[in-house]
Amino acid sequence: MDAALALFSEKGFAATRMDEVAAKAGLSKGALYLYFPDKVALLKTLVQETAGSVIGAAALMMAAHEGPVSPLLPLILGFVAEKLETSNIAAVIKLVLSEGRAHPEIGKAYLENVIGRAFPLMEGLIARGVAGGEFRAVDAGMVVRSFIAPMLLAAFWKSTFEPLGAAPLSVRALAAHHADLIVRALKP
């Protein structure tokens, strides 16, 4: 699956040959078909296993938190940034956004299980801050999009532009700087 992720992210799903995946994994193509019924199943498994792990941890983080919301925002972005830098989740995000429409089952699953869970949780958090007088009256939905968007940019920077020779981006630094901007912008 690591081999497949690297190749899918580099060349695109359709342009990646099963022979290549097998070779990179140190197997023959036949052996691949002992573990995955077909090519799409490989993609699907890949996305589901990776996506599931992160959302769970982040949800836990938000649910467990009590008291003022402001200190939680840099923690959330820091957590995501760390995942982006130390795992291959950036490649998975690129894969889902790139191939999600061509493989609706995968795209819809991500929309429902990841975005559909994470966005409402974060919106609730922002709304809590507003209700408690900690934040100005803002549109929680819009704030969540503003809040999370730089992590999307970072994912593509790492998986598309850095391999092309672009200057490396410190995702952690961006996360910290951005969280600070948002917290300031939300002050009453």
Partner DNA sequence: TTTTAGTGACTGACTGGTTAGTCATTAAAA
Partner DNA sequence: TTTTAATGACTAACCAGTCAGTCACTAAAA
Nearest partner of 41 among 19, 9, 23, 18, judged by Cα: 18
Q: Is 120 in the site for its own copies (CB under 8 A)?
A: no
What whole-number distance in Å separates Cα of residue 121 and Cα of residue 76? Answer: 12
Instruction: Name which of its own copies, DNA, none residue 98 binds, using a CB cut-off of 5 to 8 Å depending on partner kind.
Output: its own copies
Sign (positive or negative) of CA dihedral 25, 7, 38, 42: positive
Interface residue with its own copies, options 107, 117, 127, 172 (CB under 8 A): 107
Q: Which residue, 102 or 131, has its beta carbon nearer to its own copies?
A: 102
* Contact in structure between 18 and 29 (CB atoms under 8 Å): yes
- For 97, the enclosing helix (H) or strand (E) is helix 89-99
**Cβ atoms within 10 Å, residue 100:** 17
Q: Contact residues for DNA (CB under 7 A)?
A: 16-19, 22, 27-31, 33-34, 38-40
Nearer Cβ to DNA, position 57 or 102?
102
Torsion of CA 44, 149, 170, 165, to 10 degrees: 70
Using the rule CB under 8 A, is 29 a contact of its own copies?
no
Cα atoms found within 13 Å of the Cα of residue 184, Cβ hemisphere only: 6
Pick between residue 38 and residue 180 the one whose CB is nearest to DNA: 38
E-strand stretches of the chain: none
Question: Shortest approach of its own copies to residue 116 CB, angstroms?
Answer: 9
Cβ proximity to its own copies: between 60 and 101 the closer is: 101
Type of residue numbered 105: E
Kindly tell me which of 39 and 178 has the beta carbon lying closer to DNA.
39
CB of 15 to DNA, least distance (A): 7
> Binding partner of residue 57 among its own copies, DNA, none, CB under 5 to 8 Å per kind?
none
Q: Under the rule (CB under 8 A), what is the footprint of its own copies?
A: 9-15, 94, 97-102, 104, 107-108, 111, 115, 138-139, 142-143, 145-146, 148-150, 152-153, 156, 159-161, 163-166, 169, 173-174, 177-178, 180-182, 184-187
